[in-house]
Amino acid sequence: MSETPVSPGTVAEHDAATDAVVLRNAEVRRGGRTIWSHGNLAIPAGTVTAIVGTNGAGKTTLLDAELGLVPLYAGSITVMGSPAGQNNGMIGYVPQSYIAGLDSNITARQSVILGLTGTRFGIHFVTREEKARAQQVLEFVGLADKADYRLNELSGGLRQRAAIAQALVGGPKLLLLDEPLANLDMASQRAVVELLARLNREWGMTIQVVAHDLNMLLPILTGAIYLLDGHPHYSPISSVLDSDLLTHLYGTRIEVVTTPQGDMFVTPDRTLEPKERDQNTHAAAEAARFHEHHHHIPPKENNR
Site residues (vs another protein, CB under 8 A): 67, 69, 88-89, 91, 93-95, 97, 100-101, 103-107, 110-111, 114-115, 117-124, 148, 150, 166-167, 170
Considering the complex, what minimum distance in angstroms separates the CB of residue 10 from another protein? 33
Q: Which is nearer to another protein, 141 or 245 (CB)?
A: 141
Helix axes 156-168, 108-117, angle to 10 degrees: 30
For residue 217, the SS3 value is: coil
DSSP state of 279: -
Considering the complex, what minimum distance in angstroms separates the CB of residue 103 from another protein? 6
Gap between the Cα atoms of 260 and 117, Å rounded: 46
Q: Please enumerate in sequence order all residues whose Cβ is within 8 A of that of 41, keeping only pairs 6 or more positions apart, or say none.
A: 21, 22, 23, 225, 232, 233, 234
Residue 127: left (phi > 0), alpha (psi -120 to 50), or beta?
beta
Gap between the Cα atoms of 72 and 37, Å rounded: 10
Q: Which is nearer to another protein, 78 or 218 (CB)?
A: 78
DSSP state of 88: G
Considering the complex, what minimum distance in angstroms separates the CB of residue 121 from another protein? 6
Considering the complex, what minimum distance in angstroms separates the CB of residue 118 from another protein? 3
Gap between the Cα atoms of 186 and 178, Å rounded: 18
Q: Which is nearer to another protein, 39 or 68 (CB)?
A: 68
Considering the complex, what minimum distance in angstroms separates the CB of residue 64 from another protein? 9
